[in-house]
Amino acid sequence: MIARPTADLYQILDLSYDPNEEFAPHTDELPRISIVLSGQLLETAGDKEEWASAASMVFKPGDLRHFNRFGREGARLVSVAFSEEGFRALCDPVENRSWRWWHGAEAAALSVEFLRALDRGAAPQNCLEAVIDLLAGLSPDAPGPMKRPPSWLTPLRERMQDEFQEPLPSQELAAWLDLHPVYLARVFREFEG
């Protein structure tokens, strides 16, 4: 049975950094997804460096030892920091979740969609739906497009049509189908848009 995620599984953090601020090599302890809202930063892990600016996004394991240097205007980020339980419940266990940055139009579109969803309401349920959709959109190791929709998509579509007056939480639908919520969101996006 899939663990039913709750809002207790992660924290959404609004983080501001001063101009030219630097952090010595450190770990963040909790795995996280961060979106750069403004400013710039250089993140170095091992022998790899990434320059990031507004709408860039990163997935970072909690144990990743890294160094940060912020630009001359500083930076502001929003982060989703997962507890261990939250990471297991929400992040697809079959995917290789290593340090990875996304830049450009796709990252910007996901960032804007996520931030708009958060802005629609601070209720834990709204935030959880936004986190699930963000994870589904990132999917670094997602397989290519499927040729046919999975058999569970028809009963899901029917239930959503029957109960269209009330928004149905994706984690409730995933539990009903005995699927991982991020997998459900990813496949639903692929076939339903």
133 part of a folded domain: yes
* Percent of the chain at pLDDT exceeding 90: 27
Let me know if residue 172 belongs to a domain: no
In a domain, 137, yes or no: yes
Does any domain span residue 178?
A: no
Q: Are 110 and 138 in contact (CB under 8 A)?
A: yes
Q: Is the pLDDT of residue 1 over 60?
A: no
Q: With respect to residue 41, please indicate whether it lies within any of the assigned structural domains.
A: yes
Other C-beta atoms lying within 10 Å of the C-beta of residue 90: 23
CATH number (domain holding residue 20): 2.60.120.280
Which of 65-69, 104-108, 123-127, 144-148 bottoms out in mean pLDDT, i.e. has the lowest? 144-148
Q: What's the confidence (pLDDT) of residue 68? A: 96
**Considering only 15-19, 28-32, 148-152, 153-157, which range has the smallest mean pLDDT?**
148-152
Q: How confident is the model at residue 3 (pLDDT cuts 50, 70, 90)?
A: very low
Q: Assess if residue 85 is contained within a domain.
A: yes
- Is 22 within the bounds of a domain? yes
Q: How far is CA 75 from the centre of its chain?
A: 20
Question: What integer pLDDT is reported at residue 142 of this predicted model?
Answer: 47
Confidence of residue 95 (pLDDT cuts 50, 70, 90): low
Q: Tell me how long the chain is.
A: 193
The answer as to whether 136 is a domain residue is yes
- What pLDDT score was predicted for residue 76? 95
pLDDT at residue 73 in the model: 93
Q: Which domain holds residue 55?
A: 7-142
When divided into structural domains, the chain yields a total of 1
